[in-house]
Amino acid sequence: MTSNKKSGRRLRVTKNEPKQPNQPDDDLLFYLNQLRSEECYCGRTKKYGFALCYGCWTQLDGETAKHLNRQICRGFEEAFDRAIKELERIGRI
């Protein structure tokens, strides 16, 4: 018969080593640099932190422009690629 009585032994619980932050790959750095730069993909000046200059932004359809407000790794990359393809199609780039 087993007893519910505690044996008095203690287990030492250690925390896992903190994970090293993942090194961003080249694609992620490309998108980060696009946001950090003050030059649009088309070559005109733009504001730091924006994906495109105002001229390119106004040429996009509403849905694509809206998705460019997403965070990196949460849909920004796909929206930026779609925006560049759209701007190439209309001849802006």
Q: Is the pLDDT of residue 18 over 70?
A: no
| Domain parsing of the chain, residue ranges | 26-90
pLDDT recorded at residue 92: 86
The rounded Cα 2 to chain-centroid distance in angstroms is 55
Average model confidence (pLDDT) across the chain: 82
Q: What is the model's pTM?
A: 0.69
The DSSP letter of residue 39 is B
Q: Identify the CA nearest to 49 among candidates 30, 58, 36.
A: 36
Tokens of 40: 């649009």
3-state secondary structure of 45: strand
pLDDT in tens, 28-73: 898 999 999 999 999 999 999 999 999 999 999 999 999 999 988 8
DSSP state of 11: P
Which range (12-21, 26-35, 55-64, 78-87) has the least confidence? 12-21
